[in-house]
Amino acid sequence: MKRIFIILFYNTYYPLRNALRRLWLGAGRGLLFCWAILVALRYRYARKPVDVGLGPLPMINNVYHKKALERYGYSARTFTVDVFSITDQFDFIARRHLRSWWSKKFLYASMFRYAVKNFRCLYMYFDGGILGWHAPAWKYEAWLYRLARVKTVIMPYGGDIQDFTRSTNLLFKNAMSSDYPKHRFSRQRISRKIDQWTLNADHIISGCDWVEYLYHWDTLMLAHFSIDTERWKPVEIVPPELQGENRPLRILHAPNHRHQKGSKHFIRAVEELKAEGLNIELVIVQKVPNEEIRRMIGTVDLVADQLIIGWYAMFSLEAMSLGKPVLCYLRKEFEELYIGHGLVEAGEIPIINSNPFTVKERIREWYHRRNELPELGRRSREFVLKHHSLDHVGGVFDRINRSIGVQPPKNV
């Protein structure tokens, strides 16, 4: 009898509980969507005090993009729900202002109201804005911004558009399977969001290796990354680590994702070269603040970025801006695209192009050409000044904004 009671309990209680839970969640999501429509209508004709909002992901790119926009007279504000370990230099961090349990539960909804109330235009990523984490509201997020008369400029950063059925990079697929095995469960949602924003955003920016995952863009850049070249400039005093006649060749590697960066290939190459008698030191750091990374770049001869993805990103730009040469993999088809589009000249990118099969020889080559590294570092900084400075990227953003009807105040 007891056994029968237990069977009946499990066959009735849990299905009923799950059904009620789905009903409750469905009702909550429906109410959220209705509320978002009312908020969008409420601020549709309201005067929005800030030209551009950048968020809600805590990307360090947004900090630099804000400075780039301000160079051209736009008011800009960065906002996020929470922060990563790299930096917390954002104008509005929701978790520091909304601390109650109720506020946390509806934090993203509160941020949606904040965005449509304050910004004429939003610069966001393909995983969406504030409602990007709520179903089914995210499916109509672009429409809600349009209802609120907020323009949207959408750009990728990586994981937001990496549907690997669209990629031919087998090494990268393998690395992602190791670093993020659960990423495969997001593929369909990523694909739907690419479609959603590609068809409904006011403007799409692409570049980097992102072109492999997207099927349309309005503006093509080498990458939308910008950097404050005054803050990231070469040190005038030679640090102790770079002094001495018999010192080792120092290489810095700072992987946030070891498989994607090809860390094991850097490590193996250096170990094999050291076994041959070459005096090399590989410095590996992870999860350190951006200020510490800047200090450490100044203490090395070379910076090792990645050997898998196929293009450079922020870590390379930080090193190059500081006048340090970079080891990084540049896929031939990407380079040909940007040369063909007129964004860069053949041979202009001063990166030591390396992949898992050539990195050992590249390090060996530049070990014996160590006296040429300062000149390569100088060219690296010139490249960043030309293609990724606040003035250059701000100019691109200015043209984009004007094309969608967002202009800075006339008195600027």
Rounded to an integer, what distance in angstroms lies between the CA atom of residue 408 and that of residue 378? 35
Q: Are 231 and 322 in contact (CB under 8 A)?
A: no
**158, 205, 46: which is closest to 113 by C-alpha?**
46
Please write the tens of the pLDDT for every residue from 212-230: 999 999 999 999 999 999 9
pLDDT bin (cut points 50, 70, 90) of residue 81 is confident
**385, 393, 243: which is closest to 322 by C-alpha?**
385
Rounded to an integer, what distance in angstroms lies between the CA atom of residue 79 and that of residue 92? 5
Rounded to an integer, what distance in angstroms lies between the CA atom of residue 336 and that of residue 349? 12
Q: Tokens for 260?
A: 């994607």
Q: Are 37 and 143 in contact (CB under 8 A)?
A: no
Report the percent of the chain where pLDDT is more than 90: 67
Average pLDDT, the chain: 88
Return the bridge partners of 151, or none.
121
Domains and CATH numbers, the chain: 42-226+393-403 (3.40.50.2300), 240-387 (3.40.50.2000)
Please tell me what DSSP assigns to residue 280.
E
pTM for the whole structure: 0.88
Dmax (CA) for the chain in angstroms is 87
Please tell me what DSSP assigns to residue 389.
B
- For residue 185, what are the CA distances in angstroms to 22, 169, 181, 190? 21, 19, 9, 10
**250, 289, 279, 284: which is closest to 267 by C-alpha?**
284
Strand-strand pairing, 50-54 and 119-125 = parallel
- What pLDDT, on the 0 to 100 scale, is given for residue 100? 46
Highest-pLDDT range among 76-80, 148-152, 177-181: 148-152
- What pLDDT, on the 0 to 100 scale, is given for residue 24? 47
pLDDT bin (cut points 50, 70, 90) of residue 132 is low
**296, 295, 289: which is closest to 252 by C-alpha?**
296
Please compute the mean of the pLDDT values over residues 82-101 and round it to a whole number: 66
């990407």: which residue's tokens? 334
CA gyration radius, the chain: 24
Q: Tokens for 93?
A: 């961090």
Query: Residue type at 266?
Result: F
pLDDT bin (cut points 50, 70, 90) of residue 259 is confident
Residue with the bigger pLDDT between 258 and 170: it is 170
Mean pLDDT lowest for which of 25-34, 54-63, 198-207, 296-305?
Answer: 25-34
Q: Are 196 and 160 in contact (CB under 8 A)?
A: no
User: With b meaning 16 or more CB within 10 Å and e meaning fewer, what string describes 221-249?
Assistant: bbbbbbbebeebeeeeeeeebeeeeeeeb
- For residue 322, what are the CA distances in angstroms to 221, 228, 300, 369, 404? 22, 11, 11, 20, 35
Q: Tokens for 52?
A: 């551009």
Centre a 10 Å sphere on the Cβ of residue 19 and count the other Cβ atoms it contains.
10
Q: Is the pLDDT of residue 8 over 70?
A: no
- What pLDDT, on the 0 to 100 scale, is given for residue 410? 74
pLDDT bin (cut points 50, 70, 90) of residue 22 is low
- What pLDDT, on the 0 to 100 scale, is given for residue 101? 45
Rounded to an integer, what distance in angstroms lies between the CA atom of residue 38 and that of residue 5? 49
Count, residues in the chain: 412
Rounded to an integer, what distance in angstroms lies between the CA atom of residue 389 and that of residue 44? 35
Please compute the mean of the pLDDT values over residues 100-105 and round it to a whole number: 49
Rounded to an integer, what distance in angstroms lies between the CA atom of residue 41 and that of residue 37? 6
pLDDT bin (cut points 50, 70, 90) of residue 140 is confident
Please compute the mean of the pLDDT values over residues 321-337 and round it to a whole number: 97
Strands (E), 245-394: 249-253, 280-284, 302-304, 326-328, 352-353
Angle 139-140-142 from CA coordinates, rounded to 5°: 110
Please compute the mean of the pLDDT values over residues 224-250 and round it to a whole number: 89
pLDDT bin (cut points 50, 70, 90) of residue 178 is confident
User: With b meaning 16 or more CB within 10 Å and e meaning fewer, what string describes 267-277?
Assistant: eebbeebeeee
